Structure 1
């Protein structure tokens, strides 16, 4: 569950940059969003692998 909380914290941390980019047109915030989304992708992949491993170990 710690991984899920970390994922949520990361998403929440991007909230200001989304507002800056979409509402104010701040291009630097867009760069931070892209980086943050790449980090989310990597976090999601780690979680997927962990879930798969736990599922297979329990079978």
Structure 2
């Protein structure tokens, strides 16, 4: 286990095998959050091409 750092999901001490998480369960919970768009970078929404304008190409 890595001293001084904790799992970003549950706060338990990190495991060297699953760094930066403490277990495969927390690692998988983080992956699901990414796949469900649970994380986002702030900024303007992206323009979605409609196909009507030549600018979209």
What's the TM-score, normalizing by structure 2?
0.35
What's the TM-score, normalizing by structure 1?
0.34
RCO comparison, higher one (Cα < 8 Å, 6+)? 1
Structure with greater helix share of residues: 1
Which protein shows a greater Rg? 2
